[in-house]
């Protein structure tokens, strides 16, 4: 019983801390499985690792943003469409803006007490940039075609069954007798 209580407490504390990161990670996993390329998932994982892991505490904030800029610029070089290159370019631009913000308005390259509007909305900006990348990666046309094929096959199997015309005939017969009454 103690293990179950510990798991419940651990899951509640984990869900309070990283809601958007978990959602973004799952969206990257789905996108990577659909397009069969994992470089975007690895870029996200590496940038999240830079921010969250205590090994990199010695790096200043502008160095972390510069490293993220380098990672996403490398990923954008190997992007397979112009839409994905543009989305990675948006992430690179965001990293450059955050790096400039940390250098100009921070104390020794790290944000101090002076927090700008950009720094206050950093989570929303990063989440939006990641959503732009994920939406550029997803093959919406292929997903739509697969869904249409699924429904088409389901209805084709239903209409080719021999019991359906018999069922429709009896329903029509019952409805016509009710109208006569």
Segments in the chain forming alpha helices (H): 2-17, 19-35, 39-52, 61-77, 82-105, 117-120, 122-137, 140-159, 163-180
- Contact criterion met (CB below 8 Å) for 75 and 86: no
pLDDT of residue 161: 60
Flag whether pLDDT at 2 surpasses 60.
no
What's the CA gap between 73 and 89, in Å, rounded? 7
**Span 73-100, average pLDDT:** 91
pLDDT of residue 68: 92
Contacts of 76 (CB under 8 A, 6+ apart): 84, 85, 88, 89, 92
Residue-wise pLDDT tens digits, 130-173: 999 999 988 888 878 888 888 777 666 555 566 666 666 777 67
What's the CA gap between 115 and 82, in Å, rounded? 35
Confidence category of residue 93, pLDDT binned at 50, 70, 90:
very high
Transcribe 124-144 into DSSP letters.
HHHHHHHHHHHHHHS-HHHHH
- Contact criterion met (CB below 8 Å) for 80 and 127: no
Residue-wise pLDDT tens digits, 101-123: 888 877 766 666 667 788 888 88
Residue-wise pLDDT tens digits, 19-49: 778 888 888 888 888 888 888 888 988 888 8
Cα end-to-end span (Å), the chain: 65
pLDDT of residue 90: 94
pLDDT of residue 94: 93
Tokens of 154: 């389901």
């Amino acid at each position: 019983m103690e293990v179950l209580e510990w798991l419940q407490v651990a899951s509640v504390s984990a869900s309070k801390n990283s809601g958007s990161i978990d959602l973004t990670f799952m969206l990257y996993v789905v996108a990577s499985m659909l397009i069969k390329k994992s470089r975007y998932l690895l870029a996200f994982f590496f940038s999240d690792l830079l921010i969250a892991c205590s090994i990199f505490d010695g790096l200043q904030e502008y160095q972390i943003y510069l490293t993220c800029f380098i990672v996403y610029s490398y990923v954008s070089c190997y992007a397979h469409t112009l839409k994905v290159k543009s989305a990675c370019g948006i992430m690179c631009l965001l990293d450059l803006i955050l790096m400039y913000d940390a250098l100009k308005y921070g104390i020794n390259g790290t944000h101090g007490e002076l927090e700008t509007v950009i720094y206050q909305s950093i989570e929303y900006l990063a989440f939006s940039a990641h959503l732009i990348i994920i939406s550029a990666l997803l093959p919406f046309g292929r997903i739509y075609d697969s869904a249409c094929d699924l429904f088409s096959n389901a209805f084709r199997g239903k209409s080719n069954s021999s019991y359906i015309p018999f069922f429709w005939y009896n329903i029509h017969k019952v409805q016509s007798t009710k109208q006569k009454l």
